[in-house]
Structure 1
């Protein structure tokens, strides 16, 4: 018998999980669907697919089953990863519903095939743009003689050190510290904000945004 599985994920906010669950219940009721089970995680997107229970989700979904998510971004760390997973599910003849995007994808549905193709193109474009912007920003910084990496004078090590260059790049692109924390999988954006301030990373990012 075909079943309907809902996958919900949030970094640390349990309220977000509850909101996702409520949204899925309301959608299911409106569309006369019955959710048989929830696979939920409160974990960083930077974890492995096993830790995010993606492998578990794939193992329980069979032909003619339905997967519901509030939005496609819950399924992966990047557009490319999301598209790869959706393609895998469609090949298994699993119906994929993304509520916020108003998508209902099935294997033999032409609209679904068109949407997947478009998303794949967007994923490739996203990778190219990020790579280009990063290279241009780093080149601009080097031309101005700005030293990449941790500012001098750092007294103690920090868990954020390994992502220092990435943080500078994202600041230069105009992302807020909160968004950077979410993007890099850190639960405490306040700690990251302190790190950015003490290391004066905003100053380092100015040259990259010019």
Structure 2
């Protein structure tokens, strides 16, 4: 059983020193260090952390906002950690501890909040597109989708959700969702291609 730390800063001039010092005081086996904004969908160190998780590991952060920028993102990331057989714990938010029954209950609540947030995003996206069409605005390229969002798209499709609903929720085209879920998306990593094709991803 290992403790794996994750530290992130987003503002120029900020340092990771305080986070790393705090995480090391909890005897973390390794600390992954990220310099990227919470809105950056391609957080390389976070992807590397999750890929290298082993069963029984615990991911530790100093604060939840170091890991995710929204309830939806937090739930998606923590869900992925648990699917690797690992646990999650936030030092500043003791309730965010999936090793306890209270923490697991909070995760279930987060799942419900994430669904609400996703529905709100879907509604706002649909309303925004409708207004844009009425004004004669041509829609631009879709928002860039990162690995975490791609995995969520694949799992939602595997759970039977309609392509149209998934596309609206992420503000992308049905064609993009289809390419991601069928493995035809050239931007995906090898592990994501395996996931989309229903193959087992090695830990």
TM-score using structure 1 length: 0.52
In structure 2, relative to structure 1, the CA distance for the partners of 1:59 and 1:134 (3 Å cut) is closer
Q: 1:139–1:91: structure 2 CA closer, same or farther, 3 Å change rule?
A: closer
Asked which structure has the greater CA Rg, the reply is 1
- Of 36-45 and 87-96, the range deviating more from structure 2: 87-96
Partner of 2:52: 60
- Do 1:90 and 1:105's aligned partners in 2 also have CA atoms closer than 8 Å? no
- Structure 2, unmatched stretches of 5+, are 144-203
1:69 and 2:61 aligned = yes
Q: Deviations over 1:81-121 (max 9, x none)?
A: 432331232344423112343334235x3212211111111
Are 1:64 and 1:94, in contact at CA under 8 Å, matched by a contact in 2?
yes
| 1:148 match | 137
Aligned length: 142
Aligned pairs for 1:23-102 (under 5 A) are 24-25=22-23, 29=25, 33-44=26-37, 45-48=39-42, 51-76=43-68, 78-102=70-94
The question of whether the paired residues in 2 share the 8 Å contact of 1:68 and 1:99 is answered with yes
Q: Which runs of structure 2 are paired with 1:167-178 in the superposition (5 Å)?
A: none
Distance 1:135 1:58, change over 3 A: closer
Per-residue deviation, 1:137 = 4.5
Structure 1 CA distance for aligned equivalents of residues 2 and 8 of structure 2: 20
Once the 2 structures are TM-superposed, how far is the Cα of residue 39 of structure 1 from its aligned partner? 0.4
Counterpart mapping for 1:131-142 below 5 A: 131-139=122-130
Distance in 1, matches of 2:96 and 2:41, equals 27
1:140 shift after superposition = 5.2
Match of residue 117 from structure 2: 126
SS in 2 for 1:67: strand
Counterpart of 1:186 in structure 2 is none
Q: Does 1:20 align with 2:19?
A: yes
- C-alpha root-mean-square deviation of aligned residues, in Å? 3.4
Aligned to 2:9: 10
> Cα 1:14–1:61, aligned 2, differ >3 Å: closer, same or farther?
farther
Q: Which runs of 5 or more structure 1 residues have no equivalent in the other structure?
A: 151-160, 165-210
Give, in whole Å, the separation in 2 of the partners of 1:130 and 1:147. Answer: 22
Shift of 1:57: 0.8
Q: Determine the C-alpha separation between the residues in 1 that align with 2:128 and 2:80.
A: 35
The residue number in structure 2 matching 1:208 is none
Provide closer, same or farther for how the CA distance between residues 54 and 129 of structure 1 changes in structure 2, counting only shifts above 3 A: same
| TM-score, normalised by the number of residues in structure 2 | 0.54
